[in-house]
Chain A
Amino acid sequence: MARSLGFIIVLLAVTSICDAVAIFHPISESHRSAALELFSPAAGSFSGLEEAYEALRTFEVLGIEKPDTKDHTCNSVVDTLSSSSSNLKDLYHSLRVNGLLKCKTSKEALTGTVSRLKGGVKEATTLLDYYYSVGGLLLVKDQSSEVDVLLGNADGILRSIKALSQSDGRWRYSSNNPASSTYAAGVALETLSGVISLAASAIDENLIGTLKNDIVKLFDSIEKYDDGAYYFDDKVIDASGHQGPLSATSAVVRGLTTFASTSGTLNVLYTIPEEKILGLARFFLGVGVPGNSKDLVSVPLILSLPATVLSLTSNDKLKVRVNTVLGSIAPPLSVKLMQVFSSGSKDAPVLKEELKFDPKEAIHTMDALPEGVDIGEYVFAFEIVLSDPEDKRKYATGGRTKVPIHVTGVVGVDNAKLTLLEGDSVESEKKLNLPGKNDVALSANHLQKLHLSFLLTTPLGKPFKPHQALFKLRHETGVEHIFVVGNSGKQFKIALDFLGLVEKFFYLSGQYDIELIVGDAAMENSFLQPLGYVELDLPKVPEKATRPPSQAVDPYLRYGPKAEINHIFRVPEKRPPQEVSFAFLGLVFVPFLVFLIGLLRLGVNLKNFPTSTVPATFAILFHGGIAAVLLLYVFFWLKLDLFTTLKALGVIGIFLMFVGHSTLSHIASVSVKVKSA
């Protein structure tokens, strides 16, 4: 509900004043679908008349075909209007819906409504009471000319509403509530304008004069965003919840415009600073609310630059485009470059140079940059001058527009040379080609000095001091030394006395790569260039010398992907070819065969095997038992575990002991008999 309220309030604020003149409607399909999603009538009707009004009004503004809810909604409108128990708020909302739907209402019902509304005005104690009853009367006035809605005691009503105003231009909702609110100010202004238009007799001019003062004071409390958007904020939380900047601002704008139009005091709007009105427009546009340029009293003109970085070297032209806020073409006008501030300075001579207008592209151009503008950062101040004085009422130019401009160019690097000195005599001198490829190869010892010098000049021949002018020496081991190249005017110079630097260099002899960095945002030819190398021969490291710092670990190495872990699996043992194994399997049986053949040759027999039934059974069981144990062992090898095997072995073992004992004792007794026989 709060969401839809905000949506509708803003929509109404920017469209209600002048619907007839529609120049530009940036309403897209997304707005429509959002509105339909927001106001989807449940079961053919809206939940209340207030929501019904919001939905119908939104659909009307957005040009959406209304869902067929008219019958149901009209019934509740007529019910509310003819019921004697409905309160002022309900009456107000049903009249608003009626204004849109044009339901069939009887004259009697309207007359009754009017008398109740008038009674409401008389007995009103709070601002909202006034708002609903006066608003209701205004609506009746629009809907029916047959009913007398004029208020007799308009001056008195105005005074009692005015009594709720505060000294800072805001209003209270009721006399016993000390908190003042900006939203209430907007509501009050709208109510007041309603009273003025309903007044039966002329209104006291002094009263309107004080109201104008209130409006001016109210604009003192306006707040500002960084982007230049102005808005009203409301800190009061009332019964209907917190009113955000959007509803507060739209209430004030709506109240202000209705008040200005009904009280015949349009000039009150011109007392408000132009930039605040522009800022309000910016606020509503920033919120993404579709609006109508006419709502803003005067259409703001926006000055924009296609490019704010201009190159001196390629002679870029200063181009300025002027549009209305909503993107349409500006009226005939001229753009003047008033001042050029170089970065940091607050003062600059007034130039008043007019830019040439190119009607084809609708762009104002300046062929050459103003004199004295060299590379660097500037702030250009422009002013829009409307050609037709009549336009001044329609368009707001927003005064002076300041645009930061960056001017870039190629900086000349001259007289660059690298010198090696021994004492004061020049050992060797190398001219450098900057920016360009250089290949210096020097060798020096700690008693010598290295000099580097070059000139930097801007395209206009002035000295140029870049953000960075650094000289870098890097040892083979990665130890770096950076020196700032100082300047005096155009001349940049650095002298390295190796004797004083020995300690700083950690006594590290060897090859040092030389790099020169000259860079600036405004310098088109910024460079970082290797110049070559110098072979340094420094004294030996004394014992107490500090060690060179260990090189920082490259963060990419530290946090980058780690080396892949290769899992080492056990390499399967080398196995012989199957044929070999099978051959040996066969070989194992050879001794067994030999054993069998040997047995045969020895003439082995089974004569001792018992022949009578019982001992024979025992003997067979004995051999069977041994076979069972061996079979159990095979199973143990193949799948059983030790415990199962031992259990089974226990059982078989006891059996085997018994059987074996009986068998063997039988054989023993037989052999004893044979012996004794």
Chain B
Amino acid sequence: MGKSPTTKDDAQALFQSLRSAYSATPTNLKIIDLYVVFAVFTALVQVVYMAIVGSFPFNSFLSGVLSCVGTAVLAVCLRIQVNKENKEFKDLPPERAFADFVLCNLVLHLVIMNFLG
């Protein structure tokens, strides 16, 4: 009994520290995070739909989910490149990263659209 409040407190403390640490993140990275979350949840909605109804137009399902997942992955890539703390991409301007992101998205969605049926 005595253990659980400690755990709870620990967890609370952990979340607290996480939140405070995250609040320090620049806004543009938060936007990308939000975008990733949005894409992942959209994909989840589709997976749930498939689980309930069945996978009949399987290509449509695949393209829908992959569109979301792909976008999320690309957004993560963007985030990595935009993050100033990543020294690796120090010389890469964020505008260039954004241009890559847009181009990759367009190519991805061309394939997705072709696959949508």
A and B: real partners? yes
- Which residues of A are in contact with B by a Cβ distance under 8 Å? 573-576, 580-581, 584, 587-588, 590-592, 594-595, 598-599, 602-604, 626, 629-630, 633-634, 636-637, 642, 645, 649, 653, 660-661, 664-665, 667-668, 671
Measured CB to CB, the nearest residue on chain A to B53 is: A576
Q: Evaluate contact between A636 and B113: CB separation under 8 angstroms.
A: yes
Check A594–B56 contact: CB distance below 8 A. Answer: no
- Determine if B6 is an interface residue (Cβ-Cβ < 8 Å): no
A602 to B33, CA, bound (A): 11
Question: How near does chain B come to A364, taking the closest CB pair, in angstroms?
Answer: 94
A591's nearest neighbour on chain B, judged by CB, is B41
A604–B31 CB distance below 8 A: yes
> Is the C-beta of B102 less than 8 angstroms from some C-beta in chain A?
yes
Whether B19 is near chain A, meaning CB under 8 Å from some CB there, is no
Least CB distance, B45 to chain A, in whole angstroms: 5
Given known pairs A576-B54, A602-B31, A637-B113, the reply for A592 and B38 (CB within 8 Å) is yes
Does A633 contact B110, Cβ atoms closer than 8 Å? yes
Known contacts A602-B30, A649-B110; A580 and B52 CB within 8 A of each other: yes
Residues of B close to A642: CB separation below 8 A: 114
Give Cα A649–Cα B113 distance, bound, in whole angstroms: 13
Q: 12 pairs across A/B with beta carbons < 8 Å?
A: A573-B56, A574-B56, A584-B45, A594-B37, A595-B37, A599-B31, A602-B27, A602-B31, A636-B113, A637-B116, A664-B98, A664-B99
| Chain B min CB distance to A182 (Å) | 93
With a CB–CB cut-off of 8 A, which chain B residues contact A667?
95
Determine the residue in chain B with the shortest Cβ distance to A587. Answer: B45
Bound-complex Cα distance A584 to B43 (A): 12
B42 touches A633 (CB 8 A): no
Task: Give the chain A neighbours of B116 by CB distance below 8 A.
Answer: 637
Binary A-proximity of B19-50 (CB < 8 A = 1, otherwise 0)? 00000000100110011011101100110110
CA distance A661 to B38 in the complex (A): 28
Task: Select from chain B the residue with minimum beta-carbon distance to A661.
Answer: B99
Task: Show the binding face of B for A, using Cβ within 8 Å.
Answer: 27, 30-31, 34-35, 37-39, 41-42, 45-46, 48-49, 52-54, 56, 93, 95-96, 98-99, 102, 106, 109-110, 113-114, 116
| A664 contacts B42, C-beta separation under 8 Å | no
Measured CB to CB, the nearest residue on chain B to A635 is: B113
For A588, give its contact among B35, B42, B53 (CB under 8 Å). Answer: B42
- Alpha-carbon gap, A41 to B110, bound state (A): 89
- Asked whether B95 lies within 8 Å of A630 as measured between CB atoms, the reply is no
Rounded to whole Å, the gap between the CB of B73 and the closest CB of chain A is 17
Across the two chains, which residue of chain A brings its CB closest to B98? A664
| A575, A584, A590, A645 pick with most chain B CB within 10 angstroms | A584
* Chief secondary structure at chain A's binding surface: helix
Q: B48: which A residues are within 8 A, CB to CB?
A: 584
Query: Are B34 and A595 in contact, CB atoms less than 8 angstroms apart?
Result: yes
- Please determine whether A630 and B109 come into contact, CB atoms closer than 8 angstroms: yes
Q: List, in ascending order, chain B residues with CB within 8 A of A591's CB.
A: 37-39, 41-42, 45
Q: How far is the CB of B37 from chain A (nearest CB, A)?
A: 8
Q: Which residues of B contact A574 (CB under 8 A)?
A: 54, 56
CB distance from A653 to the nearest CB of B (A): 8
Q: Which residues of B contact A576 (CB under 8 A)?
A: 52-54
Of all chain B residues, which has the CB nearest A597?
Answer: B34
A-B CB proximity, top 8 nearest: A595-B38, A591-B41, A664-B95, A576-B53, A598-B34, A584-B49, A633-B113, A573-B56
Total number of residue pairs linking A and B with CB closer than 8 Å: 81
Looking at the assembled complex, report how far the CB atom of B41 sits from the nearest CB atom of chain A, in whole angstroms: 4
Docked complex Cα distance between A517 and B45 (Å):
84
Q: Are A633 and B109 also in contact (CB < 8 A) when A574-B56, A599-B34 are?
A: yes
Instruction: Chain B residues near A653: list those with CB within 8 A.
Output: 106
Name the distance in Å between B4's Cβ and chain A's nearest Cβ. 32
B35 to chain A, nearest CB (A): 7
With both beta carbons as reference points, the residue of chain B lying nearest to A577 in the complex is identified as: B53
**Is the pair B106, A629 in contact by a Cβ cutoff of 8 Å?**
yes
Chain B residues positioned under 8 Å from A668 (CB to CB):
93, 95-96
Q: Which residue of B lies closest to A663 (CB)?
A: B95
Chain B CB within 10 A, most for which of A574, A598, A603, A668: A598
Smallest CB–CB gap between B78 and chain A, Å? Answer: 13
Q: Closest chain B residue to A672 by CB distance?
A: B93
Give which listed residue, B30, B41, B52, B96, contacts A594 with CB less than 8 A: B41
Cβ A603 vs Cβ B27 within 8 A: yes
A584 vs B48: C-alpha distance when bound (angstroms) = 9
Shortest distance from the beta carbon of B19 to any chain A beta carbon, whole Å: 14
Q: What residue of chain B has the Cβ atom nearest to residue A667's Cβ?
A: B95
Query: What CA separation (Å) do A170 and B35 show in the bound complex?
Result: 124
Q: Which residues does chain B contribute within 8 Å of A590, judged by CB atoms? A: 41, 45
| Chain A residues in 8 Å Cβ range of B27 | 602-604
Closest to A653 in B: B106
Contact B96 A664 (CB under 8 A): yes
- Taking a contact as CB atoms under 8 Å apart, the answer to whether A588 and B99 are in contact is no
Quote the shortest CB–CB distance from B55 to chain A (angstroms).
10
Q: B44 — nearest CB in chain A belongs to which residue?
A: A591
Which chain A residues border B114 with CB–CB below 8 Å?
636, 642
Q: Which residues of A contact B99 (CB under 8 A)?
A: 660-661, 664
Least Cβ–Cβ distance between A618 and chain B, in angstroms: 13
A588 and B95: CB pair below 8 A?
no
Question: How far does the alpha carbon of A594 sit from the alpha carbon of B30 in the complex, in Å?
Answer: 14
> Distance (Å) between the CB of B30 and the closest chain A CB?
5
Chain A residues near B96: list those with CB within 8 A: 664, 668
Nearest chain B CB to A599's CB is how many angstroms away?
7
Whether A626 pairs with B45 at a CB distance below 8 angstroms is no
* Shortest CB distance B46–A (Å): 7
Give Cα A667 to B97, complex, Å: 13
A575 neighbours in B (Cβ, 8 Å): 56
Determine the chain A residues whose CB is within 8 A of the CB of B49 once the complex forms.
Answer: 580-581, 584, 587
**Cα–Cα, bound, A603→B113 (Å):** 33
Which of chain A's residues has its CB closest to B38's CB?
A: A595
Cα A661 to Cα B49 in complex, Å, equals 40
Besides A642-B114, A660-B99, 11 more A-B contacts (Cβ < 8 Å) are: A576-B54, A588-B45, A591-B37, A591-B45, A592-B42, A595-B34, A595-B38, A599-B34, A602-B34, A664-B96, A671-B93
Closest to B42 in A: A591
A320 CB to closest chain B CB, in angstroms? 91
Between B37, B49, B113, B114, the greatest number of chain A beta carbons within 10 A of the residue's beta carbon is seen for B113
